[in-house]
Structure 1
Amino acid sequence: MKLAIMQPYFLPYIGYYQLIGAVDLFIVYDNVKYVKKGWVNRNRMLVNGKDALFSLPLKKASDALDIRDRELAAEFDRPKLLNQWRGAYRTAPFFKQTFPLLEEIVGFQDPNLFRYLFNSLRMTCAHLGLKTAFKISSEVPIDHSLKFQDRVLALCEAEGTQKYINAIGGLELYDADAFRARGIEFRALRSRPFPYEQFGQPHVPYLSIVDLLMFNPVSKLSEIIAENYDLVEQDA
Protein backbone atom coordinates (compact mmCIF):
# COMPACT_ATOMS: atom_id res chain seq x y z
CA MET A 1 0.00 0.00 0.00
CA LYS A 2 1.28 3.45 -0.96
CA LEU A 3 0.73 6.30 1.50
CA ALA A 4 1.25 10.07 1.64
CA ILE A 5 0.67 12.41 4.57
CA MET A 6 0.31 16.19 4.32
CA GLN A 7 -1.29 19.11 6.11
CA PRO A 8 -4.17 20.70 4.22
CA TYR A 9 -3.72 23.74 2.01
CA PHE A 10 -6.25 26.00 0.34
CA LEU A 11 -6.42 25.13 -3.38
CA PRO A 12 -2.71 24.21 -3.60
CA TYR A 13 -0.48 23.83 -6.67
CA ILE A 14 -0.69 20.79 -8.91
CA GLY A 15 2.12 18.90 -7.17
CA TYR A 16 -0.16 18.37 -4.17
CA TYR A 17 -2.71 16.62 -6.39
CA GLN A 18 0.05 14.59 -8.05
CA LEU A 19 0.98 13.34 -4.58
CA ILE A 20 -2.65 12.39 -3.93
CA GLY A 21 -2.87 10.59 -7.26
CA ALA A 22 0.37 8.67 -6.65
CA VAL A 23 -0.89 6.86 -3.53
CA ASP A 24 -3.65 4.55 -2.34
CA LEU A 25 -4.31 6.46 0.89
CA PHE A 26 -3.76 10.13 1.64
CA ILE A 27 -3.74 11.14 5.31
CA VAL A 28 -4.52 14.79 5.99
CA TYR A 29 -3.09 16.26 9.19
CA ASP A 30 -5.63 18.01 11.36
CA ASN A 31 -3.76 17.78 14.67
CA VAL A 32 -0.64 19.73 13.71
CA LYS A 33 0.14 23.33 14.54
CA TYR A 34 -1.16 26.02 12.21
CA VAL A 35 1.82 27.84 10.68
CA LYS A 36 1.32 31.58 10.44
CA LYS A 37 2.08 33.09 7.02
CA GLY A 38 2.42 29.62 5.51
CA TRP A 39 0.27 28.17 2.75
CA VAL A 40 -2.48 26.55 4.81
CA ASN A 41 -5.07 29.26 4.19
CA ARG A 42 -3.66 31.11 1.17
CA ASN A 43 -2.22 30.63 -2.29
CA ARG A 44 -1.27 32.49 -5.46
CA MET A 45 -3.28 33.44 -8.52
CA LEU A 46 -2.51 35.31 -11.74
CA VAL A 47 -3.33 39.03 -11.89
CA ASN A 48 -2.22 41.07 -14.91
CA GLY A 49 0.57 38.65 -15.73
CA LYS A 50 1.98 38.49 -12.19
CA ASP A 51 1.37 36.33 -9.14
CA ALA A 52 -0.89 37.70 -6.40
CA LEU A 53 -2.06 36.24 -3.10
CA PHE A 54 -5.59 35.19 -2.18
CA SER A 55 -6.41 34.01 1.32
CA LEU A 56 -8.96 32.88 3.87
CA PRO A 57 -9.13 35.33 6.81
CA LEU A 58 -8.92 33.66 10.21
CA LYS A 59 -10.38 34.48 13.58
CA LYS A 60 -7.67 35.78 15.92
CA ALA A 61 -6.33 33.01 18.14
CA SER A 62 -3.18 31.64 19.73
CA ASP A 63 -0.38 30.68 17.32
CA ALA A 64 0.00 27.47 19.33
CA LEU A 65 -3.34 26.04 18.20
CA ASP A 66 -3.61 23.11 15.80
CA ILE A 67 -5.22 23.55 12.39
CA ARG A 68 -8.37 21.78 13.61
CA ASP A 69 -8.77 24.38 16.38
CA ARG A 70 -8.65 27.46 14.14
CA GLU A 71 -11.72 29.14 12.66
CA LEU A 72 -12.48 31.38 9.72
CA ALA A 73 -13.07 35.02 10.60
CA ALA A 74 -16.71 35.98 11.04
CA GLU A 75 -16.15 38.79 8.55
CA PHE A 76 -14.93 36.43 5.80
CA ASP A 77 -16.35 38.03 2.64
CA ARG A 78 -17.09 35.12 0.33
CA PRO A 79 -18.37 37.23 -2.60
CA LYS A 80 -15.19 39.34 -2.43
CA LEU A 81 -12.97 36.27 -2.84
CA LEU A 82 -15.08 35.01 -5.73
CA ASN A 83 -14.90 38.43 -7.35
CA GLN A 84 -11.11 38.35 -7.13
CA TRP A 85 -11.11 35.18 -9.24
CA ARG A 86 -13.82 36.48 -11.53
CA GLY A 87 -11.89 39.67 -12.21
CA ALA A 88 -8.65 37.81 -12.89
CA TYR A 89 -9.99 34.93 -14.99
CA ARG A 90 -13.35 35.86 -16.53
CA THR A 91 -11.88 35.70 -20.06
CA ALA A 92 -9.86 32.52 -19.43
CA PRO A 93 -10.83 29.62 -21.73
CA PHE A 94 -12.18 27.35 -18.96
CA PHE A 95 -13.68 29.98 -16.64
CA LYS A 96 -17.25 28.73 -17.15
CA GLN A 97 -16.26 25.15 -16.33
CA THR A 98 -14.25 26.14 -13.24
CA PHE A 99 -16.14 28.96 -11.55
CA PRO A 100 -19.11 26.84 -10.35
CA LEU A 101 -16.62 24.62 -8.49
CA LEU A 102 -15.11 27.66 -6.79
CA GLU A 103 -18.57 28.93 -5.86
CA GLU A 104 -19.35 25.62 -4.16
CA ILE A 105 -16.01 25.52 -2.35
CA VAL A 106 -16.19 29.09 -1.10
CA GLY A 107 -19.86 28.74 -0.19
CA PHE A 108 -19.21 25.94 2.31
CA GLN A 109 -20.55 27.31 5.60
CA ASP A 110 -18.55 25.44 8.27
CA PRO A 111 -16.33 28.00 10.07
CA ASN A 112 -13.81 25.38 11.22
CA LEU A 113 -10.59 25.84 9.23
CA PHE A 114 -9.71 22.16 8.91
CA ARG A 115 -13.17 21.08 7.82
CA TYR A 116 -13.34 23.96 5.35
CA LEU A 117 -9.99 23.02 3.82
CA PHE A 118 -10.79 19.31 3.80
CA ASN A 119 -14.05 19.96 2.00
CA SER A 120 -12.31 22.09 -0.63
CA LEU A 121 -9.69 19.38 -1.13
CA ARG A 122 -12.24 16.61 -1.61
CA MET A 123 -14.35 18.69 -3.97
CA THR A 124 -11.35 19.62 -6.11
CA CYS A 125 -10.18 16.00 -6.24
CA ALA A 126 -13.66 14.89 -7.34
CA HIS A 127 -13.61 17.56 -10.06
CA LEU A 128 -10.22 16.26 -11.24
CA GLY A 129 -11.38 12.63 -11.15
CA LEU A 130 -9.03 11.52 -8.37
CA LYS A 131 -10.24 8.41 -6.55
CA THR A 132 -7.66 8.17 -3.76
CA ALA A 133 -9.00 7.36 -0.29
CA PHE A 134 -8.63 9.98 2.48
CA LYS A 135 -8.18 9.66 6.21
CA ILE A 136 -7.82 12.32 8.93
CA SER A 137 -4.67 11.98 11.03
CA SER A 138 -6.30 12.26 14.46
CA GLU A 139 -8.56 9.29 13.62
CA VAL A 140 -5.57 6.93 13.20
CA PRO A 141 -4.87 5.07 16.47
CA ILE A 142 -1.25 6.04 17.22
CA ASP A 143 0.55 8.00 19.94
CA HIS A 144 -0.18 11.51 18.71
CA SER A 145 2.41 13.04 21.02
CA LEU A 146 5.06 11.74 18.62
CA LYS A 147 6.78 14.40 16.54
CA PHE A 148 7.96 14.78 12.95
CA GLN A 149 9.48 11.60 11.47
CA ASP A 150 8.46 9.40 14.41
CA ARG A 151 4.84 10.39 13.90
CA VAL A 152 5.04 9.71 10.15
CA LEU A 153 6.55 6.27 10.80
CA ALA A 154 3.81 5.47 13.33
CA LEU A 155 1.11 6.46 10.83
CA CYS A 156 2.77 4.36 8.13
CA GLU A 157 2.92 1.31 10.38
CA ALA A 158 -0.66 1.79 11.57
CA GLU A 159 -1.85 1.68 7.95
CA GLY A 160 0.35 -1.22 6.84
CA THR A 161 2.32 0.94 4.42
CA GLN A 162 4.87 -0.59 2.06
CA LYS A 163 5.77 2.66 0.28
CA TYR A 164 5.72 6.18 1.70
CA ILE A 165 5.75 9.08 -0.76
CA ASN A 166 6.41 12.62 0.38
CA ALA A 167 6.57 15.98 -1.36
CA ILE A 168 10.07 16.80 -2.63
CA GLY A 169 10.94 18.70 0.56
CA GLY A 170 10.89 15.37 2.39
CA LEU A 171 14.34 14.58 1.02
CA GLU A 172 15.71 17.12 3.50
CA LEU A 173 13.37 16.28 6.36
CA TYR A 174 13.42 12.50 6.63
CA ASP A 175 15.93 9.66 6.83
CA ALA A 176 15.20 6.95 4.25
CA ASP A 177 17.15 4.42 6.34
CA ALA A 178 14.69 4.85 9.22
CA PHE A 179 11.84 3.93 6.88
CA ARG A 180 13.81 1.04 5.39
CA ALA A 181 14.42 -0.33 8.89
CA ARG A 182 10.63 -0.63 9.26
CA GLY A 183 10.25 -2.31 5.88
CA ILE A 184 8.95 0.85 4.21
CA GLU A 185 10.25 2.21 0.91
CA PHE A 186 10.72 6.01 0.91
CA ARG A 187 10.36 8.21 -2.17
CA ALA A 188 9.84 11.92 -2.82
CA LEU A 189 7.69 13.30 -5.62
CA ARG A 190 9.30 15.92 -7.85
CA SER A 191 6.96 17.66 -10.29
CA ARG A 192 8.20 18.27 -13.82
CA PRO A 193 7.69 21.72 -15.35
CA PHE A 194 4.33 22.26 -17.02
CA PRO A 195 4.26 25.55 -18.95
CA TYR A 196 0.86 26.49 -20.37
CA GLU A 197 -0.74 29.50 -22.03
CA GLN A 198 -1.68 32.34 -19.66
CA PHE A 199 -3.25 35.16 -21.71
CA GLY A 200 -0.20 35.25 -24.00
CA GLN A 201 2.09 36.47 -21.17
CA PRO A 202 5.33 34.83 -19.95
CA HIS A 203 4.37 31.77 -17.95
CA VAL A 204 4.14 32.16 -14.15
CA PRO A 205 4.68 28.68 -12.61
CA TYR A 206 3.53 27.00 -9.40
CA LEU A 207 0.28 28.92 -8.97
CA SER A 208 -2.84 27.53 -7.31
CA ILE A 209 -4.78 24.76 -9.02
CA VAL A 210 -7.33 27.52 -9.71
CA ASP A 211 -5.00 28.95 -12.36
CA LEU A 212 -4.42 25.59 -14.03
CA LEU A 213 -8.15 24.84 -14.12
CA MET A 214 -8.85 28.20 -15.75
CA PHE A 215 -6.42 27.58 -18.62
CA ASN A 216 -6.52 23.80 -19.13
CA PRO A 217 -9.20 21.14 -19.66
CA VAL A 218 -9.62 18.65 -16.83
CA SER A 219 -8.60 15.87 -19.24
CA LYS A 220 -5.19 17.51 -19.72
CA LEU A 221 -4.70 18.11 -16.02
CA SER A 222 -5.56 14.47 -15.33
CA GLU A 223 -2.67 13.48 -17.61
CA ILE A 224 -0.29 15.88 -15.86
CA ILE A 225 -1.35 14.65 -12.43
CA ALA A 226 -0.87 11.01 -13.43
CA GLU A 227 2.39 11.27 -15.40
CA ASN A 228 4.26 14.57 -15.12
CA TYR A 229 6.47 13.82 -12.10
CA ASP A 230 9.37 11.67 -10.92
CA LEU A 231 9.68 9.62 -7.74
CA VAL A 232 13.12 10.37 -6.36
CA GLU A 233 15.26 8.33 -3.97
CA GLN A 234 17.23 9.92 -1.18
CA ASP A 235 20.98 9.98 -1.83
CA ALA A 236 22.90 7.44 0.15
Structure 2
Amino acid sequence: MTENTDNTRRFKIVLIEPQIPPNTGNVSRTCVATGSELHVVGKTGFSFSERAVRRAGLDYWKNLIFEQHADVDAYMERIRDRRFWLFTTKTDTPYHLTAYRPGDFLIFGSETAGIRRDILERYPDRCRTLPMNRAHVRSLNLSNTVSIVLRELLDIGGNKFWLIFNFENGKLLYVMITSDEEGPKAKMEQDYDGLRIALTEKYGRPKYCSDEGCVWSNAGTIITLAYRSDEEGDYHVNLVYGNYDAMVKQIEEDKRKMEEAL
Protein backbone atom coordinates (compact mmCIF):
# COMPACT_ATOMS: atom_id res chain seq x y z
CA MET A 1 0.00 0.00 0.00
CA THR A 2 1.11 3.54 -0.70
CA GLU A 3 2.43 5.61 2.18
CA ASN A 4 0.12 8.41 3.32
CA THR A 5 1.78 11.75 2.56
CA ASP A 6 -1.10 13.64 4.27
CA ASN A 7 -2.17 15.36 1.09
CA THR A 8 -4.94 17.72 2.25
CA ARG A 9 -6.43 17.80 -1.25
CA ARG A 10 -7.63 14.19 -1.04
CA PHE A 11 -11.00 13.12 0.29
CA LYS A 12 -10.62 10.76 3.25
CA ILE A 13 -13.04 7.83 3.11
CA VAL A 14 -13.48 6.52 6.65
CA LEU A 15 -15.04 3.12 7.32
CA ILE A 16 -15.95 2.52 10.96
CA GLU A 17 -15.86 -1.17 11.89
CA PRO A 18 -16.65 -2.64 8.44
CA GLN A 19 -17.76 -6.27 8.59
CA ILE A 20 -17.95 -7.59 5.02
CA PRO A 21 -14.63 -8.11 3.19
CA PRO A 22 -15.81 -7.49 -0.41
CA ASN A 23 -17.33 -4.14 0.57
CA THR A 24 -14.03 -2.85 1.93
CA GLY A 25 -12.26 -4.28 -1.10
CA ASN A 26 -14.62 -2.45 -3.46
CA VAL A 27 -14.24 0.79 -1.51
CA SER A 28 -10.47 0.48 -1.69
CA ARG A 29 -10.68 0.16 -5.46
CA THR A 30 -12.89 3.25 -5.65
CA CYS A 31 -10.40 5.17 -3.51
CA VAL A 32 -7.53 4.27 -5.83
CA ALA A 33 -9.59 5.25 -8.88
CA THR A 34 -10.46 8.66 -7.41
CA GLY A 35 -7.19 9.44 -5.66
CA SER A 36 -8.86 9.26 -2.25
CA GLU A 37 -7.50 7.89 1.02
CA LEU A 38 -9.04 4.97 2.89
CA HIS A 39 -9.10 4.98 6.70
CA VAL A 40 -10.43 1.87 8.45
CA VAL A 41 -11.26 2.47 12.11
CA GLY A 42 -12.12 0.09 14.93
CA LYS A 43 -12.60 -3.67 14.99
CA THR A 44 -13.30 -5.19 11.59
CA GLY A 45 -15.13 -8.42 10.83
CA PHE A 46 -12.19 -9.76 8.83
CA SER A 47 -8.44 -9.67 8.36
CA PHE A 48 -6.91 -7.57 5.61
CA SER A 49 -4.97 -10.61 4.55
CA GLU A 50 -8.21 -12.35 3.60
CA ARG A 51 -8.52 -13.29 -0.04
CA ALA A 52 -12.03 -11.78 -0.31
CA VAL A 53 -10.71 -8.31 0.48
CA ARG A 54 -7.83 -8.49 -1.94
CA ARG A 55 -9.93 -10.13 -4.65
CA ALA A 56 -12.33 -7.17 -4.61
CA GLY A 57 -9.41 -4.75 -4.73
CA LEU A 58 -7.61 -6.86 -7.36
CA ASP A 59 -4.09 -5.61 -7.95
CA TYR A 60 -4.82 -2.03 -6.85
CA TRP A 61 -3.83 -2.53 -3.23
CA LYS A 62 -0.26 -1.47 -3.83
CA ASN A 63 -1.55 1.95 -4.95
CA LEU A 64 -3.98 2.45 -2.06
CA ILE A 65 -3.32 5.27 0.41
CA PHE A 66 -4.40 3.52 3.58
CA GLU A 67 -4.54 4.05 7.33
CA GLN A 68 -5.84 1.69 10.00
CA HIS A 69 -6.80 2.89 13.49
CA ALA A 70 -7.71 0.61 16.37
CA ASP A 71 -9.93 2.88 18.48
CA VAL A 72 -13.03 4.69 17.18
CA ASP A 73 -13.22 7.25 19.99
CA ALA A 74 -9.54 8.11 19.72
CA TYR A 75 -9.89 8.59 15.97
CA MET A 76 -12.93 10.88 16.34
CA GLU A 77 -11.03 12.91 18.93
CA ARG A 78 -8.10 13.17 16.54
CA ILE A 79 -10.21 14.65 13.71
CA ARG A 80 -12.69 16.66 15.79
CA ASP A 81 -11.26 19.99 14.59
CA ARG A 82 -11.15 18.85 10.96
CA ARG A 83 -13.97 18.98 8.40
CA PHE A 84 -15.82 15.66 8.61
CA TRP A 85 -19.27 14.38 7.68
CA LEU A 86 -21.20 11.41 9.07
CA PHE A 87 -23.28 9.48 6.53
CA THR A 88 -26.28 7.86 8.16
CA THR A 89 -29.95 6.99 7.69
CA LYS A 90 -30.66 8.64 11.07
CA THR A 91 -30.98 12.17 9.64
CA ASP A 92 -33.11 13.98 7.08
CA THR A 93 -30.34 16.32 5.87
CA PRO A 94 -29.54 15.44 2.22
CA TYR A 95 -25.84 15.06 1.48
CA HIS A 96 -25.98 17.03 -1.78
CA LEU A 97 -26.85 20.34 -0.09
CA THR A 98 -23.46 20.59 1.63
CA ALA A 99 -20.38 22.45 0.37
CA TYR A 100 -17.69 19.78 0.54
CA ARG A 101 -13.99 20.40 0.08
CA PRO A 102 -11.14 18.14 -0.99
CA GLY A 103 -9.54 16.96 2.24
CA ASP A 104 -12.86 16.42 4.03
CA PHE A 105 -13.36 13.21 6.01
CA LEU A 106 -16.40 11.24 4.75
CA ILE A 107 -17.35 8.77 7.47
CA PHE A 108 -19.47 5.64 6.96
CA GLY A 109 -20.59 3.10 9.55
CA SER A 110 -20.60 -0.68 9.49
CA GLU A 111 -22.95 -2.67 7.28
CA THR A 112 -24.81 -4.09 10.29
CA ALA A 113 -25.04 -1.20 12.75
CA GLY A 114 -24.07 2.02 10.98
CA ILE A 115 -22.34 4.77 12.97
CA ARG A 116 -22.80 4.58 16.73
CA ARG A 117 -25.71 6.64 18.03
CA ASP A 118 -23.61 8.51 20.59
CA ILE A 119 -21.33 9.78 17.80
CA LEU A 120 -24.32 10.92 15.74
CA GLU A 121 -25.80 12.68 18.77
CA ARG A 122 -22.46 14.36 19.51
CA TYR A 123 -22.26 15.85 16.00
CA PRO A 124 -25.85 16.30 14.72
CA ASP A 125 -24.84 19.15 12.39
CA ARG A 126 -22.36 16.84 10.63
CA CYS A 127 -24.91 14.13 9.76
CA ARG A 128 -25.88 13.63 6.11
CA THR A 129 -27.97 11.06 4.24
CA LEU A 130 -28.70 9.84 0.73
CA PRO A 131 -32.34 10.54 -0.22
CA MET A 132 -34.09 7.29 -1.15
CA ASN A 133 -37.42 5.49 -1.03
CA ARG A 134 -37.29 4.21 2.55
CA ALA A 135 -40.72 2.61 2.30
CA HIS A 136 -39.05 -0.42 0.75
CA VAL A 137 -35.29 0.02 1.34
CA ARG A 138 -33.69 0.88 4.69
CA SER A 139 -30.25 1.62 3.28
CA LEU A 140 -27.91 1.00 0.38
CA ASN A 141 -24.92 -1.30 0.26
CA LEU A 142 -21.89 0.30 1.93
CA SER A 143 -19.61 0.25 -1.10
CA ASN A 144 -22.41 1.55 -3.34
CA THR A 145 -23.06 4.42 -0.95
CA VAL A 146 -19.39 5.41 -0.90
CA SER A 147 -19.25 5.31 -4.70
CA ILE A 148 -22.37 7.46 -5.12
CA VAL A 149 -21.22 10.10 -2.65
CA LEU A 150 -17.63 10.27 -3.82
CA ARG A 151 -18.46 10.33 -7.52
CA GLU A 152 -20.92 13.20 -7.13
CA LEU A 153 -18.51 15.16 -4.95
CA LEU A 154 -15.84 14.81 -7.60
CA ASP A 155 -18.37 15.90 -10.26
CA ILE A 156 -19.40 19.09 -8.47
CA GLY A 157 -15.98 19.93 -7.09
CA GLY A 158 -17.45 20.61 -3.66
CA ASN A 159 -18.90 23.96 -4.71
CA LYS A 160 -22.02 25.60 -3.35
CA PHE A 161 -22.88 29.27 -3.54
CA TRP A 162 -25.62 31.37 -2.04
CA LEU A 163 -26.70 34.41 -4.04
CA ILE A 164 -28.52 37.17 -2.15
CA PHE A 165 -30.69 39.29 -4.43
CA ASN A 166 -31.78 42.74 -3.27
CA PHE A 167 -34.82 44.21 -5.01
CA GLU A 168 -36.32 47.68 -5.00
CA ASN A 169 -39.71 48.27 -6.64
CA GLY A 170 -39.38 44.94 -8.41
CA LYS A 171 -35.94 45.71 -9.91
CA LEU A 172 -32.87 43.78 -8.89
CA LEU A 173 -30.23 46.15 -7.52
CA TYR A 174 -27.33 43.75 -7.01
CA VAL A 175 -26.32 40.17 -6.40
CA MET A 176 -24.01 39.29 -3.54
CA ILE A 177 -22.27 35.97 -4.15
CA THR A 178 -21.15 34.11 -1.04
CA SER A 179 -19.84 30.66 -0.22
CA ASP A 180 -20.33 28.87 3.09
CA GLU A 181 -17.30 30.34 4.84
CA GLU A 182 -15.69 32.92 2.59
CA GLY A 183 -18.32 35.66 2.86
CA PRO A 184 -19.17 38.17 0.12
CA LYS A 185 -17.05 37.76 -3.00
CA ALA A 186 -18.67 39.94 -5.65
CA LYS A 187 -21.54 42.25 -6.56
CA MET A 188 -23.14 42.71 -9.95
CA GLU A 189 -25.98 44.86 -11.25
CA GLN A 190 -28.31 42.65 -13.20
CA ASP A 191 -32.00 41.83 -13.16
CA TYR A 192 -33.27 38.32 -12.52
CA ASP A 193 -34.09 37.74 -16.17
CA GLY A 194 -30.56 38.75 -17.10
CA LEU A 195 -29.09 36.18 -14.74
CA ARG A 196 -31.46 33.50 -16.03
CA ILE A 197 -30.44 34.32 -19.61
CA ALA A 198 -26.76 34.15 -18.65
CA LEU A 199 -27.21 30.71 -17.10
CA THR A 200 -29.17 29.55 -20.16
CA GLU A 201 -26.37 30.70 -22.45
CA LYS A 202 -23.86 28.74 -20.37
CA TYR A 203 -25.85 25.57 -19.60
CA GLY A 204 -28.53 25.50 -22.31
CA ARG A 205 -32.30 25.40 -21.98
CA PRO A 206 -33.52 24.75 -18.41
CA LYS A 207 -34.74 21.25 -17.63
CA TYR A 208 -37.51 22.62 -15.44
CA CYS A 209 -39.05 25.99 -14.58
CA SER A 210 -41.66 27.20 -12.11
CA ASP A 211 -42.80 30.60 -10.89
CA GLU A 212 -39.98 30.52 -8.32
CA GLY A 213 -37.06 29.61 -10.56
CA CYS A 214 -35.41 27.21 -12.99
CA VAL A 215 -33.25 24.10 -12.96
CA TRP A 216 -30.41 23.34 -15.38
CA SER A 217 -28.53 20.08 -15.85
CA ASN A 218 -25.13 19.85 -17.47
CA ALA A 219 -22.61 17.00 -17.38
CA GLY A 220 -23.92 15.64 -14.10
CA THR A 221 -24.20 19.07 -12.47
CA ILE A 222 -27.60 20.28 -11.34
CA ILE A 223 -27.99 24.05 -10.99
CA THR A 224 -31.04 25.71 -9.46
CA LEU A 225 -31.88 29.39 -9.65
CA ALA A 226 -34.76 30.16 -7.31
CA TYR A 227 -35.80 33.32 -5.53
CA ARG A 228 -38.00 34.14 -2.56
CA SER A 229 -38.24 36.86 0.07
CA ASP A 230 -37.28 36.51 3.72
CA GLU A 231 -38.62 38.30 6.81
CA GLU A 232 -36.40 41.31 6.11
CA GLY A 233 -37.69 41.72 2.58
CA ASP A 234 -34.52 40.56 0.81
CA TYR A 235 -34.85 38.10 -2.04
CA HIS A 236 -32.64 35.05 -1.73
CA VAL A 237 -31.51 32.98 -4.67
CA ASN A 238 -29.92 29.60 -4.11
CA LEU A 239 -27.44 28.26 -6.62
CA VAL A 240 -26.86 24.71 -5.45
CA TYR A 241 -25.78 21.34 -6.80
CA GLY A 242 -27.48 18.03 -6.25
CA ASN A 243 -29.87 15.33 -7.44
CA TYR A 244 -32.27 16.55 -10.14
CA ASP A 245 -35.39 14.79 -8.87
CA ALA A 246 -34.75 15.94 -5.30
CA MET A 247 -34.27 19.50 -6.49
CA VAL A 248 -37.53 19.51 -8.48
CA LYS A 249 -39.41 18.09 -5.50
CA GLN A 250 -37.95 20.82 -3.28
CA ILE A 251 -39.09 23.56 -5.66
CA GLU A 252 -42.58 22.03 -5.85
CA GLU A 253 -42.70 21.75 -2.06
CA ASP A 254 -41.68 25.39 -1.69
CA LYS A 255 -44.36 26.41 -4.17
CA ARG A 256 -47.00 24.40 -2.29
CA LYS A 257 -46.05 26.02 1.02
CA MET A 258 -46.19 29.48 -0.50
CA GLU A 259 -49.65 28.79 -1.95
CA GLU A 260 -50.88 27.49 1.41
CA ALA A 261 -49.59 30.62 3.12
CA LEU A 262 -51.61 32.92 0.83
TM bucket, shorter chain: under 0.3
TM-score relative to the length of structure 2: 0.23
* Structure with higher helix content: 1
Question: Which has more strand, going by share of residues?
Answer: 2
Determine which structure has greater relative contact order: mean sequence separation of CA pairs < 8 Å that are 6+ residues apart, divided by chain length.
1
Q: TM-score normalized by structure 1?
A: 0.25
